[in-house]
Amino acid sequence: MPGKALLLSAALAVTAAAPMLMAGPAEAASPTAEQAGKPADLGRQTLPPNDGWASAGTGTTGGAAAPASNVHVVTDRAGLVAALASPGPRIIYVKGVIDVDKTCADFAVDGYTLEGYLAAYDPAVWGRDREPSGPMEDARAASAAAQTKYIKLKVPSDTTIVGLPGATIRHINLHVDKADNVIIRNIRFEDAADCFPQWDPTDGDEGNWNSLYDNISVTGSTHVWIDHNTFTDGDNPDSEQPVYFGRPYQVHDGQADITVGSDFVTVSWNKFADHDKTMLIGSTNNPATDRGKLSVTVHHNEFDGNLQRLPRVRFGKVHVYNNYYQVPDAGPFEYALGVGMESQIYAENNYFRLSRSVDPADLLYNWGGTTLTAKGNLLRVGGKEKPIDLVAVYNAKNDPDLGADAGWTPVLHTGIDPAETVRREVSRHAGAGKIR
Ligand code: CA
Ligand code: CA
């Protein structure tokens, strides 16, 4: 995004009518209706009973009960902002590409320049034992605040955001904050890049550049269903970022992060591709906000070429089943499942397709957890499939060992597929534009 002109779209008014093409709810989810050229009305669909943790209690209906006056079709950022602020329950159809009509230069204030920032905090000048402070860091923070105000859009309770065919949300962070009952489906999310990454020489052994924005952030929220979306860094991949102070200039954060005491979330049939920090469930080891929460189901997602956090979990009872993992290269790959503080991951019937250079012991990483249940998982290397005991393989290489019982058995699911079918089913049907 830096220096690049973003799409300048005309400010079209929010319209209060569902698209004419849509069939009635009676035809929802019917492949026959779809084949007949009548797409089901995705805006009125609700999370099926028992479909993961988001079906607990009151379930997840989003804006499905919206009266006609609360149904919006949005084609640009201003329209999306207006629809999110409109009375609920609300259904928001995203049409076409929604982008940010400003550049990074438009957000920079108080004399911030990357050149100035690099000059001020070069380890040769600033050292490596304290975080940046002073005028240039203040200018960076103020610039970041201006970008946040423009691109971080709050999603309120009782909302469904659903993409019409080809819908894309680019350079924007949807923030489901202190909300209940939200559905986000059938949207391509691209490149929620931070214009003002922060250098932290004390993060890790060599320091890190950290960025603020996820494509979707879920904080302090319950009953959220994230389904059939595609997440990528678009035309701004990490591989094309520069290296400063010997570390990659990381402009991205998560693709779908679920934190700050969120609970009852189902993440299903999404495609997550070519990204570093993909899905964080729990952002702090402090138990005050998250212990007993962060119940999340992650099923039938495709992870293709991602580096880490698939997902990384703290505290939560997280059911990870029937996902398709593709790891093409050991080079950038770090791990798939991050076993964090008091996490209770139940990893079941997933399919891991690894290149020969990837060590299967690296599918798990211990971030301070103690145990994980793994059953029915399948490993494919060099065209050959075989069962893999994730915990045993991890323990053979690492100490301390992880326990093999996360202490719970998931009951909220609509059926676990055999791992053998996961590769075909998920690669065919995960992501935006694939709802049957
Ligand atoms: Ca995040
Ligand atoms: Ca061991």
Could you report the per-residue pLDDT of 174-194, keeping only the tens digit for each?
999 999 999 999 999 999 999
Residue 404 forms part of a structural domain: yes
Q: Which of 31-35, 188-192, 331-335, 422-426 has the lowest mean pLDDT?
A: 31-35
Whether 361 shows a pLDDT value over 50: the answer reads yes
When pLDDT is averaged across residues 221-232 and rounded to a whole number, the result is 98
Q: Measure 377 CA to ligand 2 centroid, in angstroms.
A: 20
Q: Measure 173 CA to ligand 1 centroid, in angstroms.
A: 10
When pLDDT is averaged across residues 143-170 and rounded to a whole number, the result is 98
Q: Measure 253 CA to ligand 1 centroid, in angstroms.
A: 5
pLDDT tier for residue 40 given thresholds of 50, 70 and 90? low
Residue 425 forms part of a structural domain: yes
Q: Which domain holds residue 265?
A: 19-429
**Is residue 247 among the annotated active site residues?**
no
- Residue 8, pLDDT score: 33
How far, rounded to the nearest angstrom, does the alpha carbon of residue 221 sit from its chain's CA centroid? 15
* Residue 150 vs residues 92, 206, 326: alpha-carbon distances, Å: 19, 32, 35
Instruction: Give the residue from 296, 279, 284 showing the smallest Cα distance to 260.
Output: 284
Residue 54 forms part of a structural domain: yes
Residue 179 forms part of a structural domain: yes
Number of domains in the chain: 1
Percent of the chain scoring above 90 in pLDDT: 89
Give the pairing type, strands 173-177 and 364-367: unpaired
Residue 125 belongs to domain with CATH number: 2.160.20.10
Residue 395 forms part of a structural domain: yes
Residue 14 forms part of a structural domain: no
- Residue 329, pLDDT score: 87
Whether 44 shows a pLDDT value over 70: the answer reads yes
Percent of the chain scoring above 70 in pLDDT: 91
Average pLDDT over the chain reads 92
- Which ligand is nearest to the Cα of residue 397, counting in written order? 2
- Give the separation between CA 330 and CA 385, rounded to whole angstroms: 19
Q: Which residues contact 255 (CB under 8 A, 6 or more apart)?
A: 189, 214, 215, 216, 231, 272, 275, 277, 278, 279
Residue 403 CB burial class (10 angstroms; 0-12, 13-18, ≥19): middle
Residue 435 forms part of a structural domain: no
Residue 6 forms part of a structural domain: no
pLDDT tier for residue 32 given thresholds of 50, 70 and 90? very low
